[in-house]
Chain A
Amino acid sequence: MSSWLDYTINGLIVGNVYALVAVGLALIFGVSRLINFAQGSIYLVGAYIGWVAVVQLHTPLPLTIIVVAVAAAIVGLIIERFGLRPLQNSVRIAPLLATIGISFVLDQLVMLTFSPNPRALPSQLPDVRFQLGGGTIGPLDLLIAGVGLTSALLLFVFLRYSKLGWAVRAASQDRDAAMQMGVDVNRVNQAVFGIAAALGGVSGMLVGMYYNQIDTAMSLQATLKGVVAEVVGGAGNVPGAVIGSLLLGLVESYGVAVFGTSYRNLFAFLLLVVVLVLRPNGLFASARQAPPEPLTGTFIAPSRPVRIPRWALAVAAGGFAVLPLFPVSFYVLQTLINAWLLGMLALSLTLVAGTIGQVSLGHAALLAIGAYTSALLSLTFSVPAGLAIIGGGLMSAALGTALISPSFRLRGHYVSIATLAIGEIVSLVILNWEGVTRGPIGISGIPPLSLFGYDLISPTSIYWFSFAVMVVLALLQGRLLTSHLGRSFRAIRDDDVAARAYGLSLNRYKSLAFIFGGFAAGVSGGIAAHLYSYINHETFNTQQSILALTVVILGGLGNVVGAIVGSVALVGLPEVFRIAAEYRILIYGIVLLLLVRFRPQGLLGTI
């Protein structure tokens, strides 16, 4: 019995921490209908500022909290001013992509400054536990509860009794009406970003103290947990976010009690998917409210695609095809092989995110499904690699589509959250389903690529193989775009309401897009598995998803040629300029931000 009380206390404490993140997300969503994917990065920044304060400056605890809150708030204000305010009048996809880019830049900056190794963050509190009923509670638990309650109280007073707080509430009820009544939306945005960041930063610091460890992987987890809590409570609903957080904390804590620690996140994401599907407006909203996003307005930037004549494409393709006949180094071929593999993933993502407008943040999961399927087919059933890769593509198409299908009713930012969560679920299942995936050990000894009984081992043959597969996929996708499906996909992206009114079933066409895209990504993962000969649950991670997204934005959403050009550019240029690996992700993030701001249609234009 006593342990149950412990689990309850633990759940409520962790829930309290989530609440600090989720309340900020809810405030921001309330006034700007934006899910701030950078919230977890601020939390990360808060944790590391806390570390600097405690370990290097030896600040006393109250001062540490103030330092963290103020520093995090400044980061929040900078994000609002320079990252988001310039995008106020842009298309709806822009702020979404911007917060994703900001989050990557911040995470990488922290990683470069402090190294990715975990650090200890001592809590500065005496290490005693008090008996409470049948369980125990420590001073840190009390501190977290105290900070949670105090912030809730302060926030309540601010929203209820201050003029700015009134403006925040007015703007979240009806932004246009508030503006007409003279509410300064920029000030409101500043206020909510400042508050959200301060809360998020303090939360990161408290979590670091709670586990006495901080590392850069905290960021994504925090964003996900905060978003789960916020969506469970109803996007934009501040009290709902608190309740959603406590609920999430309890669900996780009891889940861990019954099934073990490695299932903690699985419960969180399953809760998210269930809520998104059954009650997309949250547990506390009436099911039939106005849709959470404006019905009108364009999702992507209108543009005219750059027309590249066919002969030019043919010449370029021919050039790359004969390249290995010239004395080029192994290194060049290796780099281009990576570009072709990324190109297949980008083709898939440009179809899903660009052509039909479902901005997927979990696309690497499709790689993983294809890779595992292909590896297991060839290892367990001795299927030749060529066929196994096709099997991987088909499995990725089928399973990927089935997994994402519950979220076909969602729009905009919600799709991104759902795909992010599903991506995490896939990697957690791979980690935990040891009977099939060999769990954390991964799969080794995957046979090399082969075609019609011949092993493809030389870099030249691997180069030709991957290039040919990518070209075939690109040609098929180009053909798809000129068919009635191409226009149907694009119509759904531009205006799903009008599309439905003209008989286009969203389920049917989103499925078809994911089937086609899933196949390309699965094939890419399959080839990668045979090339690497070893894969595990971390081989295909969120960084690849974000890299692919940057490629897609760079090339132009939906643009087939753009996806390939973007892949060659983002794989090749860092090699040409010999940029160290740890700076690359930072550069991808910056590239994404600059594109969103200055050339949202990408290099070759949206199709």
Chain B
Amino acid sequence: MAQSLMLSLRGLTRRFGGLTAVDAIDLDLAKGELVSIIGPNGAGKTTLFNLVTGLDRPDDGTVHFEGQDVTGLSPERLAAEGIARTFQLGRVFGNLSVMDNVLIGAHTRLRAVKPAVPVIGPLLELGLALLRPASVKAEEERLREEVKAILARFGERLLPRIDQPAYSLSYANRRRVEIARALALKPRLLLLDEPTAGMNPTETAEMQGLVAELKAEGLTILLIEHKLEMVMRLSDRVIVMDEGKKIAEGPGEQVRGDPKVIEAYLGHGLATERESAA
């Protein structure tokens, strides 16, 4: 694997019973690149994310992250390696405050309170959490400052609500908390699953601005998004999935005109319309 590759998927496959949700997907993502994955509902985009982040295991194929084979590793391990994600339906910790939600994002970066000692490490962690020596306090304080800085990226949306439980936030704010939590991990690879789902045009524009900023800062991003406008603006490349397969790949404009893509969208578009009418 070339060194500059951040992520590299080969023949990645996941079957659910008779259905092949992800079908022999190949994908290369270079450092600093932003690639979007689009495709009709049920195309397998989220399942692909689950395979990359370890929440699901592939039946076939490999995942390489920074040249290392990470196929089938646990999500905890992959988070520690620097992969962060958001969830399509939004999975904030409802009873935790905004601050605590985002601090969980920084969990893999705890050092002082989580000494890397084998076997008795967990017991040390318990002891340090109770005793809280200066180093632990300082680390916690530093992370809290960092969280505030991350929240400041969302303007006045989250900062005034920093101590409120996440369940009391508006839908859009919960999505923002998820992204803040992902940023707190200081990810090397960020996977965003429909970050603007359910947002109004103003909020979508804000989110688009933020993703553009992150890209400009050099973050490598894999984005699932239905809003084509945003996809065209942000992406270096676009990958189109349908029924688990990659049916097109290339620069946005080229993919948009691809007859296969139009057909996939039209065919399914009609089908979904009929379904929702029933």
**Which residues of A line the B interface, CB within 8 A?**
180, 288, 290, 296, 298, 300, 302-304, 476, 479-480, 483-485, 487-488, 490-491, 493-495, 497-505, 508, 511-512, 515-516, 606-607
Given contacts A302-B168, A494-B95, A499-B93, 7 further A-B contacts (CB under 8 A): A302-B94, A483-B113, A487-B96, A487-B104, A498-B87, A501-B55, A503-B107
Binds A, one of B125-133, B151-159, B199-207, B262-270: B125-133
Q: Per-residue CB proximity of B79-108 to A under 8 Å, as 1/0?
A: 110001101010111111000110111011
B129 and A504 contacting across the interface, CB-CB below 8 Å: no
A290-B16, A480-B129, A484-B113 given; A508·B93 CB < 8 A: no
Min CB distance A99 to B, Å, is 24
B130 and A479 contacting across the interface, CB-CB below 8 Å: yes
The reply on B72 being an interface residue by CB < 8 A is no
A296 and B79 contacting across the interface, CB-CB below 8 Å: no
Contact of A502 among B95, B107, B167 (CB under 8 A): B107
A491 and B122 contacting across the interface, CB-CB below 8 Å: no
B167 and A302 contacting across the interface, CB-CB below 8 Å: yes
Q: Is the interface of A mostly helix, strand, loop or mixed?
A: helix
Min CB distance B100 to A, Å, is 4
Contact of A498 among B74, B93, B125 (CB under 8 A): B93
Please, which residues of chain A bring their CB within 8 A of the CB of B165?
302, 304
A485 and B75 contacting across the interface, CB-CB below 8 Å: no
A296-B91, A302-B167, A504-B107 given; A485·B76 CB < 8 A: no
Please, which residues of chain A bring their CB within 8 A of the CB of B246?
none
> How many residue pairs between the two chains, A and B, have CB atoms under 8 Å in the bound complex?
107
Given the complex of chains A and B, what is the CA–CA distance between A501 and B73 in angstroms?
12
Given the complex of chains A and B, what is the CA–CA distance between A501 and B88 in angstroms?
14
A502 and B55 contacting across the interface, CB-CB below 8 Å: no
* Chain A residue nearest in CB terms to B16: A290
Please, which residues of chain A bring their CB within 8 A of the CB of B125?
485, 512
Min CB distance B179 to A, Å, is 13
The reply on B110 being an interface residue by CB < 8 A is yes
B96 and A491 contacting across the interface, CB-CB below 8 Å: yes
Please, which residues of chain B bring their CB within 8 A of the CB of A485?
125-126, 129
Please, which residues of chain A bring their CB within 8 A of the CB of B185?
502-503
Min CB distance B71 to A, Å, is 15
Please, which residues of chain A bring their CB within 8 A of the CB of B54?
501
Contact of B100 among A288, A487, A504, A505 (CB under 8 A): A487
Please, which residues of chain A bring their CB within 8 A of the CB of B94?
298, 302, 494-495
Min CB distance A601 to B, Å, is 10
User: Could you give 7 example pairs across A and B, Cβ below 8 Å?
Assistant: A490-B96, A491-B104, A493-B95, A497-B55, A503-B185, A504-B104, A505-B76
Min CB distance A398 to B, Å, is 11
Contact of B53 among A180, A476, A494, A501 (CB under 8 A): A501
Min CB distance A268 to B, Å, is 32
